[in-house]
Structure 1
Amino acid sequence: MIYYLYNIFRVVIYPIVRHLLPLVSKKAKARVEFEHNNLLRRPLLERADFAFEVSSEGELEQVYPLIQSLINRHKTIELVYASESVDEKIKALVKKYPQQVRSFILPILGYQPWSKFHNVRLWLTAEHLFLCRYDFFPELIDYGIRKSKTFNLISASLKGQESKNFLAKAYYKWCIKSFDKIVAVSQVEKNKLINDLSVSAKSIEVFDFRILQISNRLQSCEETLDHSWPLWHKFRDILNNRSHEEKKKKLILGSYWSEEFELIKGLSANTILTIVPHQLKKEKIENLKAKMEQENIPFFELTKETDCIDPEFKGVYLINLKGILCELYSLFDIAYVGGGFGSSVHSVLEPYMANCKVFTGPKIHRSSEFDIIRDYDSDSIKSYNDLNAVVEDIKNMETSDTASKHFMRHFEGHIDAIELWLGISQENK
């Protein structure tokens, strides 16, 4: 019923969102072009065994271990996604496995209920559908309920749902109860699903697949950096030499936001500071560089074109490189993860599993990763409401190893058990 009411609503607003909105909004125009380009792609694969929906790059990371496991078992996969941020990675996956993977971009503005090229419910063929987190589009929910044999939710969490209105909460609860099996990101979230939404405990297991994916990335970090940024060896040696000679901590501001500039002002003289901005657009980088120049903070920008690093340089390093932040964390003692003074903190598991002490701002309400680390090793992660307090604590702290070296042992065997429970592993054929 909800799906059909949704279709009526989308048909009514279609002329507005598809044709009028792009005339007044650059973002809407870019989105329409992005969706239209999807129509030009015709995959070799016509049907699949399993389907996954991911809205963004972070969610692809969460389900990637399952996808790779299925590929290794010669299964076929459909990937549905919404964000342009994950477009390149999914295209690369389709290109690498053209006989096993096909993809579909969710038409947010160009949705047409009657067309399989504009309605994912008509495009999907898989008997097993997995959604990730809380992107409960009605067309996906209806397919999961009516057409798939198994309908599962990965990385389930109630974070961020508290502020929703009554109708949104009611819809979310109805969707949650539609899944056959749910993998919650933590025991805290499992308890919330049971106590707040009356979900059966038998249908919920606990595991965060990001842990496995981050572990895999860190194990191959040198290989990744060799390929993406060959100069990293020189950079690592300079960091270590400076830290030893100047007796300063190696600090990285990962996924830095402009709201956190006070950290650069407060810590540039007291640490060996490296900044990796969240936004790498030219205007954002230029604004950051201009701010540092105004504050007389010396900086050295590192890009793909940089072919040497001055070993005598004593200022801040600005890394303008995409896709290697997780690997870079392994070069540092301390990490401040950005976004906590913006909309929401970014991944804190990446620096923690790279053996960094982790600091963040106050916006941790959507971060299940923060909860996981706090429950396992509370001394290694802290959030702050005040940037000056972050500066003072980092200045005065003594560096020491985290418990992250033993972190993966805590989860050994979990992935195999979860795959078996979900019906993915070979033993469950």
Structure 2
Amino acid sequence: MYDFILRFIFVILQIPLFNNKYQKWVKGQKNIFNQIKKKSTKRIWFHCASIGEYENIKPLILKLKTGRNKIFVSFFSQSALSQFKDYDLVDQTSFLPLDTENNMKIFIDLINPKLVIISKNEIWPNMIQSINKKKIPIFSVGLKLKKSKIKRFLNRKFYTKHLNSFSYIFCQDIDTYNFLIKNNIYQCMLMFDLRIEQIINDKLRSSKNHIISSFIQNKTTIVYGSLEKNDFEKITKFIKDRNDLKHIVVPHEIKSSQINYLIKKIGNNYCYYSKISTENIPIHKSILIVDVFGLLKHLYNYSSISYVGGGFDKGVHNTIEPAIYGNFLIFGPKHQDFKETNYFIKNDVAEVVKNKSEFEKVISMLLVKKNSNSENIKKISSFIKNNNNTSNIIIDKICEICEI
């Protein structure tokens, strides 16, 4: 029945009525097996929903990639491969095929994995069952189950059935850990957030961006990162009115509809990052719209205050990236699922706002107060220190269970 439902959905999604995102996903499914190079050498297979989940486990890839370890990475998201740049770290990448029994049998035979590491919450029944049939060790790293989901009976049955098939589970939060123990799944541990290591690595490797440094002209700069449409109405009036500051605006998705909506709100004093050259930088403009992927995590080096989007939508996006650079953080009320946001609030490096007037009040106060980035880094130093050895703990545990 499960296979039938998946195939039915796949057929429906091919109808042109559905948006371009689904059409691209369907197109990406059509030639997966022909693109995979089958090898006799066994590989370590990492699976991620999208590029964010890849960044979560990248520290493991960096440490497991050796001469004898070949790395295979699969993605569910159709947009992930277009954003992926780390081809020097991996042997091969691919979309994950539709989770039918036959597809997974073929896919696993082609990859020939010696172990499988799944980032975050990707649970595909046929994938897990096929891996178990071949007696391949399988690990979940960064599992974090929403309270609202595990309250429902059918969800609890689904999770307990399939999570019990994992060799070991590294939980992201205490609620997930308690859920597993309560349901007699004892092959688990509570871990710190792997993203800290990756963000620190990115910070150490970050090089100067001549376009950004020239654009901001040493003026006070605010980054508005990972913006959803619900964020725009809270911040656009302030951005439009404060031409004395530099504003770097980064939508979560680079969609023409979102960008067009944004520019209607902010006036004409803007430019696009993609249209700037090093010879022609519009320093007279106060607003820079970043319309390319992969740049945001490096932009926080140039700002002292960051507004992080998503807090008025499904949940605030990555607050650790700007915090590592010492930015003071502002975000919306939907942040409770992330333990780091509570830590940042408690240590006076973050404020929650509920509407436009609160945002303008908080940011105006911060501009007068002028906290330095170095002071903010000191306030969260214990958070950084405690979270900076997680990958070694995970690898040690994996080595106890199987040979790498």
- Return the TM-score normalized by structure 1: 0.80
Q: 1:363 — aligned with what?
A: 334
Q: Tell me if structure 2 keeps the 8 A contact 1:48–1:78.
A: no
Instruction: Provide closer, same or farther for how the CA distance between residues 414 and 282 of structure 1 changes in structure 2, counting only shifts above 3 A.
Output: closer
For the pair 1:289 / 2:245, whether they are aligned, the reply is no
CA distance in 2, matches of 1:38, 1:372: 43
Instruction: Provide closer, same or farther for how the CA distance between residues 359 and 69 of structure 1 changes in structure 2, counting only shifts above 3 A.
Output: same
- Secondary structure of residue in 2 paired with 1:423: helix
For the pair 1:379 / 2:348, whether they are aligned, the reply is yes
For the pair 1:316 / 2:302, whether they are aligned, the reply is no
CA distance in 2, matches of 1:22, 1:256: 30
Instruction: Provide closer, same or farther for how the CA distance between residues 129 and 342 of structure 1 changes in structure 2, counting only shifts above 3 A.
Output: same
Higher alpha-carbon deviation: 412-421 or 316-325: 412-421
For the pair 1:63 / 2:32, whether they are aligned, the reply is no
Q: Give the aligned length.
A: 391
Q: Which amino acid aligns with 1:9?
A: Y
Instruction: Provide closer, same or farther for how the CA distance between residues 189 and 265 of structure 1 changes in structure 2, counting only shifts above 3 A.
Output: same
Task: From 365, 386, 391, give the equivalent of 1:415.
Answer: 391
Q: Tell me if structure 1 keeps the 8 A contact 2:75–2:96.
A: yes
Task: From 376, 392, 400, give the equivalent of 2:361.
Answer: 392
CA distance in 1, matches of 2:298, 2:166: 35
Instruction: Provide closer, same or farther for how the CA distance between residues 168 and 193 of structure 1 changes in structure 2, counting only shifts above 3 A.
Output: closer
CA distance in 1, matches of 2:132, 2:342: 31
Q: Which amino acid aligns with 1:204?
A: M
For the pair 1:208 / 2:202, whether they are aligned, the reply is no
CA distance in 2, matches of 1:422, 1:67: 13
Q: 1:152 — aligned with what?
A: 139
Q: 1:96 — aligned with what?
A: 88
Q: 1:31 — aligned with what?
A: 25
Q: 1:337 — aligned with what?
A: 308
Instruction: Provide closer, same or farther for how the CA distance between residues 369 and 126 of structure 1 changes in structure 2, counting only shifts above 3 A.
Output: farther
For the pair 1:219 / 2:185, whether they are aligned, the reply is no
- Secondary structure of residue in 1 paired with 2:101: coil
Residue 20 of structure 1: how far off its partner (Å): 4.4
Q: Deviations over 1:6-47 (max 9, x none)?
A: xx4323662x33444412424443322111143441326454
Instruction: Provide closer, same or farther for how the CA distance between residues 382 and 29 of structure 1 changes in structure 2, counting only shifts above 3 A.
Output: same
For the pair 1:11 / 2:4, whether they are aligned, the reply is yes
Q: Which amino acid aligns with 2:393?
A: A
Instruction: Provide closer, same or farther for how the CA distance between residues 195 and 378 of structure 1 changes in structure 2, counting only shifts above 3 A.
Output: farther
- Secondary structure of residue in 1 paired with 2:361: helix
Q: Tell me if structure 1 keeps the 8 A contact 2:104–2:126.
A: no
Q: Tell me if structure 1 keeps the 8 A contact 2:118–2:139.
A: yes
Q: Tell me if structure 2 keeps the 8 A contact 1:80–1:104.
A: yes
Identity fraction in percent: 19
Residue 86 of structure 1: how far off its partner (Å): 1.5
CA distance in 1, matches of 2:115, 2:254: 37
Residue 153 of structure 1: how far off its partner (Å): 1.1
CA distance in 1, matches of 2:82, 2:400: 26
Residue 154 of structure 1: how far off its partner (Å): 0.2
Unaligned runs of 5+ in 2: none
Q: Which amino acid aligns with 2:95?
A: I
CA distance in 1, matches of 2:51, 2:165: 25
CA distance in 1, matches of 2:148, 2:134: 28
Residue 80 of structure 1: how far off its partner (Å): 2.3
CA distance in 2, matches of 1:85, 1:231: 26
CA distance in 2, matches of 1:160, 1:121: 32
- Secondary structure of residue in 2 paired with 1:362: coil
Q: Deviations over 1:150-181 (max 9, x none)?
A: 22110021235447632122211222333232
